[in-house]
């Protein structure tokens, strides 16, 4: 068993962080959010989501309704939302995202199409407005193909790295 030192902070414990030793989990283990993703973004799948910061589907977070909260499995394995979808020919197609962060931390958003990284952005207090930011990732280069899309909530320092997802939509016009 590999052990990984992970600082853990819980509100209401005299404001101090408590350090604990937790076993490192292999990829594929973690919190089952299949029902949450089915309700939030039908057709998408979710894997490698950790238990920290109470991930799941919330009625409201930071002023947005119907928010999916994810958390990386560990320092090396981000929580992955994925879907295989057809990109239409003759239309401009974008993957539109509205993402946010826990006010106490930040995280790295990585967007991939067929394994190719299309976007890598830090999501945190210096890159969001009122905790939220929007992206339109161009998928037009994949027109006429079925493409595997991956949205990754990746750790970047292991401090309050919950990803907040308010919108995931593929739009063609």
Domain ranges of the chain: 28-172
pLDDT at 24: 46
Kindly report, residue by residue over 77-110, the tens digit of the pLDDT.
999 999 999 999 999 999 999 999 999 999 999 9
Q: In terms of DSSP H, where are the helices of 12-114?
A: 34-40
pLDDT at 29: 74
Question: Using 50, 70 and 90 to split pLDDT, how confident is the model at 8?
Answer: very low
Question: Using 50, 70 and 90 to split pLDDT, how confident is the model at 2?
Answer: very low
pLDDT at 28: 52
User: Per-residue pLDDT averaged across 29-50, rounded?
Assistant: 95
What does the DSSP 8-state code read for residue 24? P
Which tops the pLDDT comparison, 19 or 78?
A: 78
Give the DSSP H/E element, type plus range, for residue 119.
strand 116-123
Question: Global pTM?
Answer: 0.84
Which tops the pLDDT comparison, 55 or 27?
A: 55
Nearest to 41 by CA among 92, 99, 91: 99
Q: Which residue has the tokens 């990386």?
A: 72
CA angle 88, 108, 9 (to 5 degrees): 140
pLDDT at 27: 53
pLDDT at 25: 44
Domain 28-172: CATH class, spelled out: mainly beta
How far is Cα 53 from Cα 130, in angstroms, rounded to an integer? 20
Q: Which residue has the tokens 């990984």?
A: 4
The answer on pLDDT for 16 being more than 90 is no
Average per-residue pLDDT for the chain: 87
Kindly report, residue by residue over 116-145, the tens digit of the pLDDT.
999 999 999 999 999 999 999 999 999 999
- Is residue 164 within 8 Å of residue 62, measured between CB atoms? yes
**Among the ranges given (6-10, 92-96, 147-151), the one the predictor scored with the smallest mean pLDDT:** 6-10
């Amino acid at each position: 068993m590999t052990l990984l030192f992970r600082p853990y902070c819980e509100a209401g414990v005299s404001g101090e962080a408590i350090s604990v030793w937790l076993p490192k989990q292999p990829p594929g283990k973690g919190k089952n959010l299949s029902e949450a993703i089915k309700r939030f973004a039908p057709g998408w799948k979710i894997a490698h989501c950790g238990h920290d910061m109470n991930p799941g589907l919330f009625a409201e977070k930071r002023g947005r309704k119907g928010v999916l909260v994810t958390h990386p499995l560990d320092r090396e394995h981000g929580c992955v939302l994925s879907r295989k979808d057809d990109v239409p020919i003759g239309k401009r197609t974008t993957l539109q995202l509205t993402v946010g962060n826990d006010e106490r931390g930040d995280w790295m958003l990585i967007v991939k199409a067929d394994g190719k990284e299309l976007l890598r952005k830090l999501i945190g207090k210096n890159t969001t407005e009122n905790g939220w930011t929007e992206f339109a990732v161009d998928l037009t280069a994949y027109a006429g193909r079925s493409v595997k899309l991956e949205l990754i909530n990746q750790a970047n320092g292991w401090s309050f790295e919950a990803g907040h997802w308010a919108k995931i939509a593929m739009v063609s016009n």
